[in-house]
Amino acid sequence: MSSSIGFEHIGAIAIVVLGILLVMSIISWTIMIYKWIQLSSLRARNNVFLERFIDGESESTLNSFARINESLNARVYMLSKQSLSVAKAYLAKEVNHLERGFSILASVGSTAPFVGLFGTIWGIINAFRSIGLSDSTSISVVAPGISEALITTAAGIFVAVVAVIGYNLLYSLYTSIIRETENFLEAIG
Residue type, 4: S
Report pTM: 0.86
Domain contains 73: yes
Task: Give domain status of residue 8, yes or no.
Answer: no
The whole-number pLDDT of residue 173 equals 97
- Report yes or no on 1 lying in a domain: no
Question: What was the pLDDT predicted at 20?
Answer: 97
- Looking at residue 3, its pLDDT comes to 46
In a domain, 85, yes or no: yes
Residue 4: the pLDDT is: 52
Block mean pLDDT (10 aa), the chain, length 189: 56 92 98 98 95 89 89 94 93 96 97 95 86 81 84 96 98 97 91
Q: How far is CA 164 from the centre of its chain?
A: 7
- Is 3 contained in some domain? no
The total number of structural domains in the chain stands at 1
Q: Which 3 state secondary structure label does DSSP give 189?
A: coil
Q: Give a yes or no: residue 117 inside a domain.
A: yes
What is the residue range of 144's domain? 17-186
